Every structure is written in structure tokens, then in C-alpha cells.
Chain A
Amino acid sequence: MATKQIIHGIFGDEVPMLEACKKLRAAGIRINDVFTPMPIHGIDAIIGLPRTRMAICAFIYGITGTSLATLMMWYMMVSDWPNDIGGKPTWAYYMAVPAFIPITFEATVFCAAHGMALTYLLRCWLIPGTKAKNPDPRTTDDKFMIYLELKEEQAKKAESILKECGVEEVNFKGTLQIEPKH
């Protein structure tokens, strides 16, 4: 059974924190997470996060909306009860398609927006009633935190890198038991 130390490196600004992230990664140390009060551009590449696929989700939900709206209007206006309203017959889908465009568009936007928002909330597990996910409450205000889980020898190296980059505090928050890999 190996143990890992939990380290919170707290910075007062994003610039030294990003510097520390780069140096930690260069030293071969894995950064588990970074907690910041605001989005920081380009941090994904620096700490090695894969690009999010939220936009792809939105696209898929969007075309689902388009298809559902088309199917709905075709079924109701063409298949189930064709009509001739104001000299604009709906005997076939193509005959009335201009009138169907606004709702097709709205349904696309509706499904894309809500589908993506739900996916986002579930993927980040942002659910009412869940506990706050930041280990240090100051990180939603004005502090920036690098969160590390490291073995003894790496922890020492990480601490010296953090200090070198002007960290404000290095907090050791206990240890974590890791099951050895089989």
C-alpha cells in the first residue's frame, strides 16, 4: 500500500501560478487539479487537460432537435391531418416547408441549449445539494490553488518548485492511501 500526500499550493495571482504549473509539468509532476476564481485562458494546455467536447454535444443535441421538429410537423400536418389553410396545402412536406422553418430552428436551439446545459451540469456534477467541490474556500474569491497528490519524494520536489515560483502557502493536507496496481 503506497501513500500519497495531498498538497495545496496557494497563489495570490494567476501569473506565478501558471509559471509553477509549467515548471511542475516540466519536472514530470502530474497536476491533479487547479482551482481558480475565474476561467484562465490557456490553462488546459499547460496542465495537460484534454479539450472539452461540450460543443460536439451541443451539435448532436441540435440535430436531434431539428429531426424531432421535422418529424413532429410532418406527422401532425402532413401525415395525420393534412389541411389546406389559407390556400397553403400540406399534402406533402415540401409544400409547406417554408412555414415549418421557424419552429424547426427554435426546436434546434431549444434542444442544443438545454441538452448541452444538462450535460454540463451532470458532467461537472453540479447538482443542488452537493458539497462544495473546492478544498479551500478562498479559491472562489481571490486565491489560486494547485492541487497535487504526490508520493513522498515528489512532494519535496514539488514544494521547492512551488516556493521558487512565489507560492503564498504550501499546505499539506494529510495523506491518501493508494491501492498498488496489479
Chain B
Amino acid sequence: MVHIDYRFRPCFLWGIGCLAYTIGVGIGSWGSNNGADWAWDITNFVWWIGIGHAGTLISAVLLLFRQKWRMGINRSAEAMTIFAVLCAAIFVTLHTGRPWLDYMLFPLPNQFGSLWPNFNSPLLWDVFAVSTYMTVSIVFWYIGLIPDFAMVRDRIVKPWQKKMYLLLSFGWGGSARHWSRFEEVSLVLAGLSTPLVFSVHSIVSMDFATSILPGWHTTIFPPYFVSGAVFSGFAMVLTLMLVVRKIYKLEAYLRIKHIEYMNIVIIVTGSIVGVAYLTELFVAWYSGVEWEQYAFLNRATGPLSWSYWIMMSCNVLSPQLFWIKKIRTSVLATFILSIVVNIGMWFERFVIIVPTLLRTYLPSSWNTYQPSFIDIGIFVGTLGMFGTFFLLFSRFFPVIAQAELKTILKSSGQQQKLDSAKHSHHAATHN
């Protein structure tokens, strides 16, 4: 019998309970109120979507840039993308209040005259962006998995497992024709996913930026959100990768070099995020608009200022430690800092959403905010779901893109011998 890791099950089950309660009772069971009508739901949605972005970035953008070091990590990063987007989807489907009517978000012919969704609204853009992103990520991931499933199918012994992997491998054989199509499809999908990943988080940021709320109505949001997404996504990839590396003893494939490169991406994106925070503050001051100035003053000194300072220290200060080579090549330090970054990025979304909504134009509608037990439960539940899915994935699916990795490993066999033979011959004739 295969052993399945159940340690995330309690979180998962708690989440399912809270989810069912929300559907039964309504979102009045959440801490959201008049004022903070978006709170944990959208914070979690943006956080999860952001985490997902690293997977696409690693598999698509680094493919286009021919960064071969991505091959060790792309498969698990892509899996992480899909699970993160699934978690994000839970929050958007629930936050509408009546999730059984969510089909109305899509432009379907309906019985209410011809009532169509509003294509001017970034919330509708989000529906299209997130569903495109999720399905395209799944397709990209699965097409890459097919040759690896075929390898497992051809090596595995137990008949029922062989049958399962035969089904999963779609009968892949690895003929030259199929490989040439495979490569073209991967390249085009990477080319399509790259603008897609930028568009998704830009559109998520427009959910805020196209509103007229001070603190949200800024043009810096799209690039700032995208770099924040990559920042938190890389941190999450590191958190998971270091665990998988340890459990499955993949030290030979996921090397310190990978960790270091990813930490460098974290320094870069973390610094971009830091600059964006400072730019926001500067522009608020320089604009001379008192509403804008107040919005930022409120974030930094208002009732929820502790969340602002958690965000600042986790996102701006902590990644700067990676300038020190000893820290960015240390597994333990990376693991701790990757979690710190993810906490910081969760608080970034919280700071953008909640304190802003609690202090809008009318002081009479100012409010306070406290998450409810159900809010926390659903969030913890998605963490459990994410962990469970990731462990199931690493149990049954090839966690390293092996067919791709072979393109480096196999050619370093004979080709290497030929090259070194040529080289030594060359050296011999010169001496």
C-alpha cells in the first residue's frame, strides 16, 4: 500500500467545515463589515494568485530566456501555481455571497431579458483572466508531464499502477515527430503564458487601481503587483522546494546554485516592491491631495499600523539579507526568510485592502475590523488544501521534469567525451 501523507488533513477539514458554514449561513459569518466589505477574502485571493505567478514565471519566462537552471524546479513550481490558483478561486467564488449564482459572472444567455455582465469592469476582466490563467497553466503543466508519465509507465512493475500511468501518459511514445511538435507547443505556450502572467496580476491590481479610493487609485499598481507576485511566489517555491528536497533527497538536482539564483530573484523583486512602497509614499505627499496623504498616513500610523510595519520589515528589510552570500546559500536561512517574505506579502495585501477601506471619504462610515473564526478557518483550510495537494502531487507525479533534464544530462555523456577528447588533442598538439 502506498503511504499518503495526511498531516495537512486537519487544516483541510477545518477549512471545508468553515466553507460549508459560509455557504449555509452567508458571508455575514465573516468579519467583513460596512467599511471593510473586502477583507480576508480578497487579501487571500490576491495572496494566492500572487504565489501562483512564480510557477509560470519559472516555467515560461525562464524558458524563453533559455535559463537551464529552471529545469530542476519548473515542474513543482508549475504544480504549485495550479494549486495556488485553485485556493485563490475558492475565495473569489465565495466572496460573491451566493456562490451557486457564480455562473452569472460569465456572459451566458439568461432569462433576465438580455442582462449581460459589464465588460467595463475590472472585476469581470478578473473572471476572464483568472480562468484563462488557471486552465492554460494546467494545460502547460500536463503537456510537460506526459513524457514523464510515459517513463514511469514503462518502468513501473505493478500492473494496476502500470494501467494508471498508461492512462495518464495518453499513450506517449517519444517519436521524433511527436517531440518536434512537443517542443514547438511548449515554446508557443511559454510565449503565450509570459504576457498572460503579467496580464493576470495587472488586472488583479486594476480591481483596486480603477476605483476612486485614495490609496488604491494609483498608476503604479500593475507593475508593483506583478513584482510583488513574483516576489512572494519565489518565496513559496523555495519554502516547498526545500521541504521536497529534504524529504526526497533531491540535493543532487536541486542544488545550492538553484537556491542562490532564486534568492537573487527575491532580492531584485523585493527591492522593486520596496521602491514601489516608497514611491507610493512620495507621490501621496507630492500630489498635495490630502485624501491620498491621509490614506498613507493612516496605513503607517493608524489603528492597523502594526500590519504596515510587519509588511515593511518582512518585505523591504528581510530580503536585503540575501545580499550576504552566506545567507543566500544557506538552506536554513533561506527557508526561514522565505516564510518571512510570505507573511510580509500577505500583510501587504491586507494593508492595501483593510485599512484603506476602513478610512474612506466619509468619517461616519469609518469602522474597525476583526476577522472571524470562519475567516481564519477558510484561510487555514486553503493552506491545508495546498499542502495536501502538493504532497499528493509529489507522491504520484514526477516532481522533476525528467525528459527536459535529460537534455542536459544525456548530452553531457558522449558529447562531453567528444568535447574533452577534442580539447585534449588540441592541447597535446600545442604543447
Contact = CB atoms under 8 A, between A and B. Distances in A.
B323 interface: no
A170 interface: no
Nearest 8 CB-CB pairs, A to B? A133-B173, A130-B171, A134-B173, A137-B154, A126-B170, A76-B116, A38-B406, A15-B414
A85 B121 CA distance: 9
Interface in A130-182: 130-135, 137-142
A52 B174 contact: no
Contacts of B115: 81
B413 A13 contact: yes
A127 B170 contact: yes
A126 B146 contact: yes
Given A106-B125, A127-B171, A13 B136 contact: no
B183 A140 contact: no
A102 B203 contact: yes
Contact of A15 (B118, B140, B185, B418): B418
B183 A116 contact: no
Interface in A50-65: 51-52, 54-55, 58
B167 A123 contact: no
Interface in A36-78: 36-40, 43-44, 47, 49, 51-52, 54-55, 58, 72-73, 76-77
Contacts of A27: none
Nearest to B166: A132
Nearest to B199: A105
Nearest to A100: B119
Nearest to A39: B179
A35 B183 CA distance: 15
A109 B133 CA distance: 9
Contacts of B3: none
B170 A44 contact: no
Contacts of B132: 106-107, 109-110, 113
B10 to A, nearest CB: 34
B415 to A, nearest CB: 6
B293 to A, nearest CB: 25
A133 B171 contact: yes
A20 interface: no
A34 B128 contact: no
B428 interface: no
B182 interface: yes
Given A110-B131, A113-B192, 20 more contacts: A13-B414, A33-B176, A37-B174, A38-B403, A44-B180, A52-B177, A54-B185, A55-B184, A58-B192, A76-B107, A76-B114, A76-B117, A81-B115, A102-B122, A110-B128, A112-B188, A117-B189, A132-B171, A133-B173, A133-B174
B410 interface: yes
A52 B107 CA distance: 36
Contact of B139 (A80, A117, A128): A117
B179 A36 contact: yes
B170 A140 contact: no
B411 interface: yes
Contact of A47 (B154, B176, B196, B404): B176
